[in-house]
Amino acid sequence: KMAEYLASIYGTEKDKVNCSFYYKIGACRHGDRCSRLHNKPAYSATILIQNLYQNPANVPSQDGQPGCTMTDKELQQHYEDFYEDIFVELSDKYGEIEEMNICDNLGDHLIGNIYVMFRDEETADRAVKDLNNRWFAGRPLFAELSPVTDFREACCRQYEQAECTRGGFCNFMHLKPISRELRKRLYGRADPGNRHGGSPRPRRRDRSPPRGGPGGRRYLDRDMDHF
């Protein structure tokens, strides 16, 4: 019965041995200093690419001048360009993506994190091994298998309702949404009412026209095999 009890509380707040935040979110604000165990999965269909998305809205002001002068519309377009570039690159190179989410949090352990749930564990394992040898915009990528299996459990419900009082430093995921049009184009169908739950399975899609001039997609640096 003790074994059944321990199994029933594994990864919950009642578990005094294993970190519930790491189990649900794949990240913990205490990092290696956490008093509870972070059990990194040996197998998972979900990967984490750490701190990759850099939101222009977070650029600090200098000498009284605002760090970001982009409008909300321009910021959303910047984000959706980034999202599409990453989605297309990962799905074309490694395999079908069930779900991809990007955090809009400000805490060091969550800021800019990209979580990608592939169709199977083998694809995720192959992606992690390859991504850790790649670069993006002059920065090395840091990827790992993630224990996250249900983004509904990992995300902040209050944030979805615009009621989170913790702001960007909330310890649950603040998942930055994409437009319905982009979701339909990437995943092959509209997903009304649930922008990140349910793990829709994408169908193969037509590639969008290259952006950013003759060099191709805006964010991908090909000349040095950078991401």
Give which of 1, 37, 8, 4 is closest to 147, Cα–Cα. 37
Report, as an integer, the average pLDDT of 111-115: 95
What is the chain's mean pLDDT, rounded?
79
As beta bridge partners, residue 103 has 175
Q: Other CB atoms closer than 10 Å to residue 55's CB: what's the count? A: 19
**Tokens in use for 46?**
């979900």
Q: Other CB atoms closer than 10 Å to residue 163's CB: what's the count? A: 9
User: How many residues does the structure list for the chain?
Assistant: 227
Q: Enumerate residues 6+ apart whose C-beta is below 8 A from 78.
A: 56, 70
What is the pTM (predicted TM-score) of this model?
A: 0.77
The confidence band for 6, taking pLDDT boundaries of 50, 70 and 90, is: very low
The pLDDT tens digits for 178-214 are 999 999 999 984 344 444 444 444 433 344 444 443 3
